[in-house]
Structure 1
Amino acid sequence: MKLTELTDFLDEYLSIAVIEDKSLNGLQVEGHPEVHKVALATDACLETFLKAASLRADFLLTHHGIFWGTQFAIKGIHAERIKTLISNGISLYAVHLPLDLHPEIGNNVELIKLLGFEVAEPFGIYHGVAIGYTGRRKRPVSYSSILNKLQKELGVKPKGYQFGTDRIKTIAVISGGGASMIEQVTGKEIDLFLTGESDHVSYHLAKELQVNIVYSGHYATETLGIRSLGRVIEEKFGLETVFIDVPTGM
């Protein structure tokens, strides 16, 4: 299919202009005008680009791109990255916050469903837009069972602090680096806050708010949305997709 057809679909489906974002969301590097194979990854980095080339992908879709709103010279590692993409005819498309907040296949709704909760309502206001979600279930589950589920499904050992109830019925989820937004649980009936990266300040906020907090890794919490987006592309266009796993352990 034509590159422009795929990017037009993604721009609309992901509503890439819906929120102010440091990421340059959308097509960042233009490659071959025809797309036959789509690679997906969490991070745009040289290792990912080389693997995409070895898989003969001509379109790479990532959550974290290479352009983040600041100017830089195309030299050194930046030149090597872009050279690798262009020389292999690979287009790079990035989608950051619009993928986190997507109501159908976003990182946060996928984490909520993974844990066996029903998606309830948007949560976590950033530049006037909610980027996370809350989840609820009728019957509570134990705090430890949530940690065990995360470790089993995401392949990382989460770090948690139990400052609240052991019987979890409501959760708030902001993937990646959302720890600083824990204060937004104030006044809400939230039993557990789940995010990716740990943050020193959020420890004390969680303790004083008496809410459980779990850090399950920036990378690990941001693989689900991009995988789901790959399935959407497969079903709609019949394109072959492949996920490139380059875990950071962070």
Structure 2
Amino acid sequence: MPLLQDVVSFLDAGLRTAEIPDYSGAVNGLQLENGGSVTRIAAAVDASLPIVEAAVAGGADLLIVHHGMFWQGAQPLTRAYYKKIKTAIQGGLAIYSSHLPLDVHPEWGNNIRLLRALGLEPSGTFFEWKGLRLGLIAETEIVRSELIEDLSAAVGGPVHLCPGGPEIIRKIGLVTGGAGAEVASCISAGIDTFITGEGPHWSYPLAEELGVNLCYGGHYATETFGVKALAARLSEDHDIPWFFIDRPTGL
């Protein structure tokens, strides 16, 4: 039975949590501790109240998430927020969150896992933010309709397409989550097709203007890969069970 501090040390080191910049609300790393041990792991995309309740009901004492408890910033411990914290503490549930460090990880990351689910390997990176290259590039030659079928199978649902680019795709850029606003960054990298989760309304007409295929696979759906990979790795290393709590938002 591993100690929570050992699991956290492994995750922090492997994900380079202290080194990788992120948004202020991410608060990457251990967000809530428990009594000190880990016997069952739950993985989920969001640290919402229904997820915390499901994790406790499933007997987990560690919840690994991509979006942690503090996206809305500091707030009073009242109503649903109070109930969430109370449920976790009374249930002995520790919560570990990893946002950008998990997105960009070369083995466990959302980006690499989705790319490989498409049968592709990275040939480079693009989209620099605070010195970090957030996106992956893959060279290929595939008909656009076939890529959409493959992407739909990988994310387990429909893909919304802006067919602004060529029908024969040769260079793909991929950033999971809500990166649609970054479609312009594809041009300097020579990318003809951009895969992401979601974007603002104006990202669609902009992609048409730029001549780029823009594939919206769903913010939630493109970010289920990393937390599953982390939980599976911990389970393999420590022989402890894990389960995934699926609560799609449709976004």
Hey, what does 1:190 align to over in structure 2? 191
Query: Pick from 111, 115, 139: which aligns with 1:112?
Result: 115
Alpha-carbon distance in 2 for matches of 1:2, 1:183: 45
- For residues 198 and 163 of structure 1, what CA distance do their matches in structure 2 show? 15
User: SS of the residue aligned with 1:170?
Assistant: strand
Let me know the Cα RMSD of the aligned residues: 1.3
Task: Number of aligned residue pairs: give it.
Answer: 248
- Alignment partner, residue 212 of structure 2: 211
- Secondary structure of 1:186's counterpart equals helix
**C-alpha separation in 1, matches of 2:168 and 2:247:** 34
C-alpha distance in 2 between matches for 1:76 and 1:122: 43
Residue 51 of structure 1, aligned match among 50, 54, 69 = 54
The verdict on how the C-alpha distance between 1:231 and 1:53 changes in structure 2, with shifts beyond 3 A counting, is same
Is the CA contact 2:39–2:240 (under 8 Å) kept in the aligned structure 1? yes
Aligned 1:218-237 pairs, distance under 5 A: 218-237=219-238
Q: Is the contact between residue 65 and residue 95 of structure 2 (CA under 8 Å) also seen in structure 1?
A: yes
- Contact 1:19–1:127 under 8 Å retained in 2: no
Distance 1:122 1:18 in 2: 18
Q: Which residue of 2 aligns with 1:130?
A: 133
- Counterparts of 1:84-163 in structure 2, within 5 Å, are 84-137=87-140, 140-163=141-164
Aligned equivalent of 1:28, options 9, 28, 31: 31
Q: Identity, % of aligned pairs? A: 37
Whole-Å Cα distance in 2 between the matches of residues 169 and 237 of structure 1? 41
What is the CA deviation profile of residues 131-170 of structure 1, one whole-angstrom value per residue up to 9, with x for unaligned ones? Answer: 2211123xx1111111112222322211001111111122
Structure 1: 5+ residue stretches without partners: none
AA in 1 matched with 2:143? S
| Residues in 2 aligned to 1:28 and 1:95: alpha-carbon distance in whole angstroms | 10
Contact residue 24 and residue 69 of structure 1 kept, 8 A: no
Q: Distance in 2 between matches of 1:19 and 1:202?
A: 27
Residue identity matched to 1:105: W
Contact 1:219 1:248 in 2 (8 A): yes
Answering whether residue 82 of structure 2 is matched by residue 82 of structure 1, we say: no
Cα distance between partner residues in 2 of 1:92 and 1:206: 38
How far off is 1:189 after superposition? 2.3
CA distance in 2 between counterparts of 1:120 and 1:134 reads 6
Equivalent pair of 1:135/1:171 in contact (CA under 8 Å): yes
The runs of at least 4 consecutive aligned structure 1 residues that moved more than 4 Å come to none
Shift of 1:204: 2.6
Distance 1:69 1:13, change over 3 A: farther
Shift of 1:205: 2.3
| Cα distance between partner residues in 1 of 2:177 and 2:34 | 29
- How many angstroms does 1:4 deviate by? 0.3
Letter matched to residue 191 of structure 2: I
How far 1:75 sits from its partner (Å)?
A: 1.1
Q: Which amino acid aligns with 1:39?
A: A
Give 5+ residue unaligned stretches, structure 2.
Answer: none
What is the CA-CA distance between 1:69 and the residue it aligns to?
7.5
